[in-house]
């Protein structure tokens, strides 16, 4: 019997952001979040377990991972091994269709794919909810990438109640996300460290948590009703409030660059001209514009003028996790 499997998971962008953990060891978030899984960015991961192997070997885009990045994968594999009661070590081969570490959620697709491939390879048959719980322990946002389209991660109160599920949507098939790659380089402060500092030091943080839970329910309803204006307004506000907690941390930090501000201003300008669109930003300088298919040509022209066509990536609602036995 071969102990191998391959999984493909797409990344997701949060419309209501996850920012801060209440329990880092158990990877429980302070607040729930809601995201859109995207077609354009994904990770394909093959895991092969070998009973005789002495240690895990992890490759990303063909190159051996070392140091903390490799240990993070091994610790995750330890969880999978513990679930099955095997000591087997693994060879992991992962390929990213995402600029790694540029705020385009590579850890979400990475750990969702790893959860799918490793669990199947070792002989576990997990439900989508169990896969979401497992993926969460690799990286919080990964629990949402198990699902296609819109997903809601309920914060929960313990390990088994903190997972994502699909959110029913109506009239949103023409939703698009235009990613403006302001800077594709590796970001400075990791999300994990940024969250830690924000929770510990920002006086705005309690207000963030309170509003995030309220906005989460509003967003769920807006998605259910297909209310694009409400979705965009809530998403933009969630992103701005999250970044306000970073600006108010000690020491303060900021992921924005000059190009980020330019893109945000262009979005506001286009909106004022009647081309409805909204922006969101994550733990990096890139700006993601939420729009509808009909507005896309105008947006691409306006943003392309400043950033160049090659800096624009059009993403659409994407599929959930797929696992193959080979
Ligand atoms: C999100 N981000 O909801 C938020 C918004 C970035 C900004 O989830 O520590 O890689 O592994 O749980 O999930 C990015 O952080 O952090 C993230 P960990 P993760 O998408």
Q: Please identify, in words, the CATH class of the domain defined by 4-168.
A: alpha beta
Residue 284 has what pLDDT? Answer: 92
What one-character DSSP code corresponds to residue 55? S
Q: Residue 130 C-alpha to ligand 1 middle, in angstroms?
A: 20
How far does CA 102 lie from the centroid of its chain?
12
Ranges of beta strands (E only) in the chain are 4-16, 21-23, 28-29, 33-50, 57-60, 63-64, 89-96, 150-154, 163-166, 175-180, 278-281, 287-292, 312-315, 322-324
pLDDT in tens, 260-274: 999 999 999 999 999
Q: Residue 65 C-alpha to ligand 1 middle, in angstroms?
A: 21
Which CATH number, 3.40.50.970, 1.20.140.10, 3.40.50.11540, 3.30.70.890, labels domain 175-315? Answer: 3.30.70.890
Residue 9 has what pLDDT? Answer: 98
Using CB atoms within 10 A of its CB, is residue 119 exposed (0-12), middle (13-18) or buried (19+)?
buried
Q: Residue 20 C-alpha to ligand 1 middle, in angstroms?
A: 9
What one-character DSSP code corresponds to residue 226? T
Atom of ligand 1 nearest to the CA of 140: 12
Q: Which of 11, 14, 18, 186 to mutate to test the pocket of ligand 1 (most atoms within 8 A of CB)?
A: 18
Using CB atoms within 10 A of its CB, is residue 145 exposed (0-12), middle (13-18) or buried (19+)?
buried
Q: Compute φ and ψ for 32, nearest 5 degrees.
A: -75, 165
Q: Residue 39 C-alpha to ligand 1 middle, in angstroms?
A: 19
**Quick one: pLDDT band at residue 99, thresholds 50, 70, 90?**
low
Under a CB-based contact definition with an 8 Å cutoff, are residues 286 and 146 in contact? no
ipTM of model over 0.95: yes
CB of 19 within 6 A of ligand 1: the answer is yes
In the chain, CATH 3.30.230.10 covers 4-168
How far does CA 291 lie from the centroid of its chain?
19
- What are the tokens at 128? 């989508």
In the chain, CATH 3.30.70.890 covers 175-315
Residue 245 and residue 208: Cα distance in Å, rounded? 7
Least confident of 50-64, 175-189, 204-218: 175-189
Q: Which of 70, 83, 65, 64 is nearest to 131 (CA)?
A: 83
Q: Which of 61, 79, 70 is nearest to 25 (CA)?
A: 79
pLDDT in tens, 71-81: 999 999 999 99
Q: For the whole model, what pTM was predicted?
A: 0.97
Under a CB-based contact definition with an 8 Å cutoff, are residues 323 and 130 in contact? no
Residue 79 and residue 69: Cα distance in Å, rounded? 16
Backbone Cα Rg of the chain: 19
Q: What share of the chain is helix, strand, coil (3-state, %, to 5)?
A: 40, 25, 30
How far does CA 97 lie from the centroid of its chain?
14
Under a CB-based contact definition with an 8 Å cutoff, are residues 56 and 73 in contact? yes
pLDDT in tens, 7-41: 999 999 999 999 999 999 999 999 999 999 999 99
Average pLDDT across the chain, whole number: 96
pLDDT in tens, 52-71: 999 999 999 999 999 999 99
């Amino acid at each position: 019997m071969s102990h191998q499997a391959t999984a493909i998971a797409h990344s997701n962008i949060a419309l209501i952001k996850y920012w801060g953990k209440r329990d880092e060891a158990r990877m429980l978030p302070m607040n729930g979040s809601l995201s859109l899984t995207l077609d354009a960015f994904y990770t394909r991961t093959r895991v092969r377990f070998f009973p005789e192997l002495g240690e895990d070997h992890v490759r990303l885009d063909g190159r051996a991972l070392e140091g903390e990045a490799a240990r993070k994968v091994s610790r995750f594999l330890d969880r999978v091994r513990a679930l099955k009661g095997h000591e087997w070590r693994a060879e992991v081969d992962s390929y990213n269709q995402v600029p790694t570490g540029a705020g385009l959620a590579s850890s979400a697709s990475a750990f969702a794919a790893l959860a799918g491939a490793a669990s199947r390879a070792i002989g576990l048959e997990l439900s989508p909810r169990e896969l979401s719980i497992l993926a969460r322990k690799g990286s919080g946002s990964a629990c949402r990438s198990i699902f296609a389209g819109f997903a809601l991660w309920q914060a929960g109160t313990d390990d088994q109640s903190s997972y994502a599920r699909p959110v029913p949507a109506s009239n949103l098939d023409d939703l698009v996300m235009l990613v403006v790659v302001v800077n594709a380089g590796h970001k400075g402060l990791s999300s994990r460290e940024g969250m830690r500092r924000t929770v510990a030091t920002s006086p705005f943080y309690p207000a963030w948590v309170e509003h995030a839970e309220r906005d989460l329910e509003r967003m769920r309803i807006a998605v259910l009703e297909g209310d694009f204006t409400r979705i965009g307004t809530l998403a933009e506000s969630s992103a701005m409030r999250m970044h306000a907690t970073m600006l108010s941390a000690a020491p303060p930090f900021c992921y924005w660059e000059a190009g980020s501000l330019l893109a945000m201003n262009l979005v506001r300008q286009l909106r004022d001209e009647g081309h409805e669109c909204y922006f969101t930003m994550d733990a990096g300088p890139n700006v993601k514009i939420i729009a509808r298919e009909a507005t896309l040509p105008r947006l691409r022209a306006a943003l392309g003028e400043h950033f160049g066509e090659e800096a624009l990536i059009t993403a659409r609602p994407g599929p959930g996790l797929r696992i193959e036995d080979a």
